[in-house]
Chain A
Amino acid sequence: MTDKNAAGKKAADQKTADPVQMWHSFLGDMEKTFNSMSNQAMESAEFSRLMNRMTGASAGAKKAFGDSMEKYLAAMNLPSRGEFTELGERLLTIESRLNEIMSLLQRVHAEVLSGDNAPSAAPRPPRTRRPPSKSGDAT
């Protein structure tokens, strides 16, 4: 056995015996095993049924709570989340209209600027780049 091989073997042995290294390997293996086992369990119909029953129950409870809160807010003469959402919808429509107006204005502005006496727009690099040649020279 050459010196190099002997040194390599010794290093490998020390690496195996290194408790820090062993801990890292253990963590990695544990993660893989646990993920794999969980995934197998999660692919079952039973898991899906249980998980969705819980999600459904949680969503149902949230809806029931929301309904009763709405009645409470109405009794207190306060706006509900639904009413705020309706206001939001109206604001969204106004935003859309404003955006359309902005677009139109930008288009008109661009047309005006494209006239002969218009100042030049902010300079952009020319769109003339070519891919590097096969020999690797950038162009």
Chain B
Amino acid sequence: MSMSAQKAAPSAADRIQLEVQRAIQRSIKGVEYFASAAPVLGTTEKDLLHSRGTMKLYHYRPLADEIYRVPLLLVMATTNRGYILDMVPGQSLVEFLLQRGFDVYMLDWTAPRPEERGLKFEDYVLDFIPDCIRRVQQDSGETDVSVIGYCFGGVLSLLYASIFTDGPLKNLICFTTPIDFRRMTLFQSFSDRRYFDVDKLVDSVGNVPPELIFQSFEMLRPASRPIGQIQLWENMWSDEFVKSYRMFDRWAQDTLPLAGEYFRQTTKDLMWDNKLYEGTMTVGGRRADISRITVPILHAVAEHDHIVPYDAAKPLIATVGSADKEEIILKGGHVSLVAGANAIKRLWPKIDSWLSERST
């Protein structure tokens, strides 16, 4: 028998010994797990450039001796924290981009305060994003700015790009961004207009609580959390597994509330009337038709995305008016597309090659 075959098929005694060792490690590390603090995430050095209510604009300190001319603004989804793009050294998209010579900024969000319950698309698209782009221009001394939008950050970036068609936007990258909301079948069911009284909800609670947002994400895969916890216990002996589990679990549970009016608009305009897909979307009376977008655009979608199904994201590239446009479908899910081992191997190098050619 060859050496490789011996390795592939350990004896029953070896297997039992291994399982006993793992069981001991589980007990020891299980205590450590509950006694230790949550991992520190988002540690790449950055400066807060601007802060206004729920909006935070950060500039990351360059890590390369020479950088590309065009600065890059990451627009985070309004439901979650931006540190998913900057987990820990070696597993951070931000760090990767800095090392590859990009000048990186991030528009991140904190929980909207009760007095911000009236924030609407108008505030996000016509005020927050343009304000941040102006500040990036000011800080970098460059006129052109590239934007990467993740999930609903992608939707906001698309709305911005379709309204400010002669603005400073140089390139647009969207990560798993839905535009045909009718294809988000489960969210459609949750917000069925026959039964879901969004006015009553928003009028009652003001900002939509994070628990509600978190639960609606969890309901998409109800078995995954309990199974995940069983897997965590089984892999408690593996420091790498535990570290990764804690990072992603902490991020997933760190869901943000949504401003009430913004949630009302999302439900009515996007979930019910599918205005972005139909080309009838307006923001503050201004037409936001994504077919008017002409800048180079890259859309990265995940093959097994349970939050934004491929069918909901697919029409984006066909709809935009850009001549230079590309869609890439990568293995993985909604989160593993942008963070984790798959992202490091697949998505990040693609962003580097696509964006570097368009950032000089």
What is the interface of chain A, defined by CB distance below 8 A to chain B?
3-4, 7-8, 10-11, 14-15, 18, 20, 27, 30-31, 34-35, 38-39, 42-45, 47-49, 51-53, 55-56, 59-60, 62-63, 81, 84-86, 88-89, 92, 95-96, 99, 124-132
B227 within 8 A of A: yes
Contact of B66 among A34, A38, A129 (CB under 8 A): A129
Instruction: State the CA gap A127–B223 with chains docked (Å).
Output: 49
Interface: B356 (CB within 8 A): yes
Give the contacting residue for B5; candidates A10, A55, A95, A124; CB below 8 A. Answer: A10
Q: How far is the CA of A38 from the CA of B195 in the complex (A)?
A: 19
B242 to chain A, nearest CB (A): 17
Interface residues of B in 170-215 (CB under 8 A from A): 185-186, 189-190, 192, 194-197, 200-201, 203-205, 212
A84 to B142, CA, bound (A): 42
19 pairs, CB–CB < 8 Å, chain A vs chain B: A11-B8, A14-B9, A15-B9, A31-B223, A31-B227, A39-B186, A42-B186, A42-B189, A42-B190, A45-B195, A55-B201, A56-B201, A59-B201, A81-B114, A84-B114, A95-B52, A99-B52, A126-B66, A129-B67
A8-B5, A42-B189 are contacts. A63–B116 as well, Cβ < 8 Å? Answer: no
B240 interfacial by beta-carbon distance below 8 Å = no
Residue of A nearest to B101 (CB): A129
Please tell me if the beta carbons of A96 and B115 are within 8 angstroms of each other in the complex.
no
> Smallest Cβ distance from A116 to chain B, in angstroms?
18
A53 to chain B: which residues have CB within 8 Å? Answer: 195
Whether B67 and A51, one on each chain, are in contact in the complex, defined by CB atoms closer than 8 angstroms, is no
Which single member of B1, B15, B115, B194 contacts A18 (CB below 8 Å)?
B15
Chain B residue contacts of A85, Cβ below 8 A: 114-115
Decide: A52 near B192, CB < 8 A? Known: A18-B15, A95-B52, A127-B103. yes
Contact among A20, A43, A132 with B186 in the assembled complex (CB-CB below 8 Å):
A43
Is B224 an interface residue when CB atoms closer than 8 A count as contact? yes
A residues in contact with B219, CB < 8 Å: 38, 42
Report chain A residues within 8 Å CB of B201: 55-56, 59
**Nearest B residue to A100, CB-CB:** B52
Residue in A31, A43, A95 whose CB lies within 8 Å of B189 = A43
Q: What secondary structure prevails in chain A residues at the interface with B?
A: helix
Task: Assess the A59–B227 pair: CB atoms within 8 A.
Answer: no
Taking a contact as CB atoms closer than 8 A, the residue among B52, B113, B192, B204 that contacts A63 in the complex is B204
Please determine whether A59 and B205 come into contact, CB atoms closer than 8 angstroms.
yes
Nearest-CB residue, chain A, relative to B1: A7
Check B2 for interface membership: any CB of A closer than 8 A.
yes
**Distance in angstroms between the alpha carbons of A59 and B113 in the assembled complex:** 19
- Which B residue's beta carbon lies closest to that of A107? B138
Q: Is B39 an interface residue (CB 8 A)?
A: no
Q: Name the one of A11, A84, A125 contacting B62, with C-beta atoms under 8 angstroms.
A: A125
Instruction: Please list the 6 inter-chain residue pairs (A to B) with the smallest Cβ-Cβ separation, ordered nearest first.
Output: A7-B5, A131-B356, A34-B223, A11-B8, A52-B195, A59-B204
B38-64 vs A: 1/0 string, CB under 8 Å? 000000000000111100000000101
B166 at the interface (CB under 8 A from A): no
> Which residues from B are CB-within-8-Å of A55?
196, 201, 212
Q: Is B197 touching A56 in the complex (CB atoms < 8 A)?
A: yes
